[in-house]
Structure 1
Amino acid sequence: MKLTCDREALEKALVKAKEATERKASLPILSNFLLEAEGDRLTVRATDLENYLTLELPAAVLEPGKVCVNSQKLTDIVKGGSCAEVILQLKGETLVVECGRSRYKLATVDPDEYPEFPSPTEGQKEGSLPGELLLEGIDRTDYAVPKDAENLVLNATFVRGKGDEVHFVGTDGHRLALYKPKVEGFDLEVLIPKRGTKVLKKLVSQLETVKVSRSESFAFLEGEGWKLAVRLLEGEYPDYEAVIPTETPYAALVPTEEFTKALKRVTLLVEGKVKPVKIALMENLMKLFVSDPEFGEAEDEVEVEFVGDPIEVEFNARYLLEALDHYDSERVWFKLVDADSPALIEAEDPEREPYLCLIMPMTL
């Protein structure tokens, strides 16, 4: 195998591919890239046995072939180079990497030992999503997806076509994030594990269209110069729509930025991931109160649009802040059924910003 390719293009490909390698590999082969040179392309493959990533880039291939080489070392070498082009040449069991005056000889592994990649089959149902929409759907829900929930299906973003909408859903059982933009013709359901969404965020361009299909075990996504097969989680996703209230007697219209700043101010006294804050709604006013046995108390107020009986509920302020951080709307609806039910947060105009969050209260 011998080829020449653009160093910057190769660096970008290797950095993306690194996301799909296993950092603490139980199988040594998983800490390697599989490189294949043929025609006018260099193909880079990487996998952790959950995500199977294939990237292609232009190359001047003088001798076709394939090689399996340590992913970290090759990435570091190419990133550190100051040349315009990189030469890769396989000599026996050694990969020679030349970049300007720098020259490296890397040990290799038998490429036939590299795991076989899954591929779509004929007749699978397919759909497509704009890259910008896919990235936004992941961003608006991924923070609510846990890493190690006992119910394994919760460790994934649920992507579901429904009518003229696509639903992106994330929940850890204490909160739920739902983004449902308008998209015609997408009729698939896939559970993409958290590690898979992390890889996707490095791959997807806002301007491209991403093809999506699935088999019984894998979701297949394809963009410009890349393909990703993600092993699907088994199980049925909870009926998320059933827990979203349709009637909320208590509804306050709250300035998003002022609400966020007030939450940050009162929680200065609270340390740790759980930051209890009491929220009281009364006529045109929201009061926030925090009490810490070690550091003291804090209060703040936000002017809101609210008419109705007073109500007080306690929430984890971290959940509220993470939700508010994903709204574009200058004002949000903060809705309650009663003091024991979840808070529903929606944009002021849900038609323009089809995004909502549901947050369970803490025990008062």
Structure 2
Amino acid sequence: MRFSLQREVLLKPLAQVVNVVERRQTLPVLANLLVRVRDGQLALTGTDLEVEMVARTGVEDAQPGETTIPARKLFEIVRALPDGSRVSVQQAGEKVSVQAGRSRFSLASLPANDFPAIDEVDASETFHVPESALKELIERTAFAMAQQDVRYYLNGLLFDLRESALRCVATDGHRLALCESGLESGPQPGRRQIIVPRKGVQELQRLLEGGDRILELELGKGHLRVKRDDVTFTSKLIDGRFPDYEAVIPIGADREVKVDREALRAALQRASILSNEKYRGVRIEVSPGLLRISAHNPEQEEAQEELEAETSVDGLAIGFNVNYLLDALGALRDEFVLLQLRDANSSALVRGAASAQARHVVMPLRL
């Protein structure tokens, strides 16, 4: 096996796959990338047995073959080489040589036959979505995923596939984020829900660049596969049932407050400085035309902010975790946001004033 590439051309696919490789592995070969040259194309594959990433790029002056090379060492070497240098990689017995200018490196390799392959995805549904839409869906919801929750089905992102739309939903039990986008081509009539684990979501989010390219998504019984012209991403799914999230979205929250999103976000950030470090609580009081934010901590320090707001609500006070509100506001795009409230013991619905594409539910906090 032999190939030669410009440093920058090789660095991009390397950067795409190296993050999938865990620093600590159960099998030595999992620390390596599968490097395959065939039909004028270089394919780099990294996996941790849960997530697999295959990045491809065209090569000239290449000799077909395959081997495995230590992932992080190869990435660090190529990244550290001077801009514009040409990198030559060649297999020589059980070693792989990497050369660029006057730099030479010899890396240990393992046989390609030892490299594990994720099971083939037997696609029961295939659909297409613009890359920018999928990127936005994940960015506007993934922050609400649980971390290491015993309810393992919350440690991931729900893909709720409908006939003409894809919804992404995440919740950690204290807040919920939902975003919806239309599909380029829908699946078979019906509905399908899958849960992509946290690491798969993070790697997919890192991979997506936006733009108008159309992605092909394949759903199998236990896998999701996302195909782009230069990359194929595969993730195992969480085998569990996501809670009925639609039952959590407040109905009858008829007390509306319309406020400038950026002004509210800045006021909450300032008030949070003096909030209790453990509970991160802020108190929101609403009266006609006015929204007041207050926070205090065990040191008897206090913060107060007042904002103009379009509302006729009077005498409503409710507590929230300020971080949850800030995350929700950061995921919205509208100039103005609506806070839809019911009473001090009910969840709040936070969404853009002009669009219901993204909705966020935040549980109240007793202060």
TM-score by length of 2: 0.94
Asked if the contact 1:289/1:299 (under 8 Å) is kept, the reply is: yes
Q: 1:309 Cα shift? A: 3.5
Match of 1:22 in 2: 22
Question: Which 5+ residue runs of structure 2 have no aligned equivalent?
Answer: none
Asked if the contact 1:314/1:362 (under 8 Å) is kept, the reply is: yes
User: 1:228-250: CA deviations, max 9, x gaps?
Assistant: 11000011111111111232131
Match of 2:199 in 1: 195
Match of 1:128 in 2: 128
Asked if the contact 1:4/1:61 (under 8 Å) is kept, the reply is: yes
Asked if the contact 1:53/1:227 (under 8 Å) is kept, the reply is: yes
Picking from 331, 337, 354, the partner of 1:332 is: 337
Give 3-state SS (helix, strand or coil) of 1:9's partner.
Answer: helix
Query: CA, structure 1 residues 100+286, in 2 after alignment: closer, same or farther (shift >3 Å)?
Result: same
Asked if the contact 1:266/1:298 (under 8 Å) is kept, the reply is: yes
Match of 1:260 in 2: 265
1:74 aligns with 2:68: no
Match of 1:143 in 2: 143
Match of 2:355 in 1: 350
- Amino acid paired to 1:356: R
Asked if the contact 2:288/2:311 (under 8 Å) is kept, the reply is: yes
- Amino acid paired to 1:168: C
Asked if the contact 1:32/1:71 (under 8 Å) is kept, the reply is: yes
Give 3-state SS (helix, strand or coil) of 1:15's partner.
Answer: helix
Match of 1:248 in 2: 253
Q: 1:358 Cα shift? A: 0.3
Match of 1:106 in 2: 107
1:277 aligns with 2:277: no
Q: 1:27 Cα shift? A: 2.3
Q: 1:345 Cα shift? A: 0.6
- Give me the whole-angstrom Cα distance separating, in 2, the residues matched to 1:236 and 1:224: 32
- Amino acid paired to 1:195: K
Identity %: 29
Picking from 295, 300, 305, the partner of 1:300 is: 305
- Give me the whole-angstrom Cα distance separating, in 1, the residues matched to 2:278 and 2:88: 49
- Give me the whole-angstrom Cα distance separating, in 2, the residues matched to 1:33 and 1:309: 62
- Give me the whole-angstrom Cα distance separating, in 2, the residues matched to 1:61 and 1:356: 52
Match of 2:365 in 1: 362
Asked if the contact 1:118/1:229 (under 8 Å) is kept, the reply is: no
- Amino acid paired to 1:109: L
- Amino acid paired to 1:85: R
Asked if the contact 2:49/2:118 (under 8 Å) is kept, the reply is: no
Q: 1:297 Cα shift? A: 1.2
Query: CA, structure 1 residues 213+62, in 2 after alignment: closer, same or farther (shift >3 Å)?
Result: closer
Q: 1:13 Cα shift? A: 0.7
User: 1:265-311: CA deviations, max 9, x gaps?
Assistant: 21211363631001111111111111112151111111111113311
1:162 aligns with 2:162: yes
Asked if the contact 2:223/2:234 (under 8 Å) is kept, the reply is: yes
Give 3-state SS (helix, strand or coil) of 2:271's partner.
Answer: helix
User: 1:77-100: CA deviations, max 9, x gaps?
Assistant: 111112532111111101011111
Q: Which moved more, 1:129-138 or 1:248-257?
A: 248-257
Query: CA, structure 1 residues 343+154, in 2 after alignment: closer, same or farther (shift >3 Å)?
Result: same
Q: 1:313 Cα shift? A: 0.7
Q: What pairs with 1:224-239 in structure 2 (closer than 5 Å)? A: 224-239=229-244
- Amino acid paired to 1:193: P
Give 3-state SS (helix, strand or coil) of 1:159's partner.
Answer: strand
Q: Which moved more, 1:4-13 or 1:184-193?
A: 184-193
- Give me the whole-angstrom Cα distance separating, in 2, the residues matched to 1:295 and 1:8: 55
Match of 2:176 in 1: 176
Give 3-state SS (helix, strand or coil) of 1:325's partner.
Answer: helix
Superposition misfits of 4+ residues, deviation over 4 angstroms: none
Match of 2:291 in 1: 286
- Give me the whole-angstrom Cα distance separating, in 2, the residues matched to 1:222 and 1:126: 11
Asked if the contact 1:70/1:108 (under 8 Å) is kept, the reply is: yes
- Give me the whole-angstrom Cα distance separating, in 1, the residues matched to 2:108 and 2:278: 45
Give 3-state SS (helix, strand or coil) of 2:317's partner.
Answer: strand
TM-score by length of 1: 0.95
RMSD: 1.6
Asked if the contact 2:129/2:185 (under 8 Å) is kept, the reply is: no
Query: CA, structure 1 residues 308+116, in 2 after alignment: closer, same or farther (shift >3 Å)?
Result: closer
Query: CA, structure 1 residues 330+62, in 2 after alignment: closer, same or farther (shift >3 Å)?
Result: closer
Query: CA, structure 1 residues 163+144, in 2 after alignment: closer, same or farther (shift >3 Å)?
Result: same
Give 3-state SS (helix, strand or coil) of 2:182's partner.
Answer: coil
Question: Which 5+ residue runs of structure 1 have no aligned equivalent?
Answer: none
Q: 1:156 Cα shift? A: 1.0
Q: 1:61 Cα shift? A: 4.9
Aligned length: 361
- Give me the whole-angstrom Cα distance separating, in 2, the residues matched to 1:238 and 1:356: 17
- Give me the whole-angstrom Cα distance separating, in 2, the residues matched to 1:300 and 1:329: 22
Give 3-state SS (helix, strand or coil) of 1:8's partner.
Answer: helix
Match of 1:96 in 2: 97
Asked if the contact 1:41/1:58 (under 8 Å) is kept, the reply is: yes
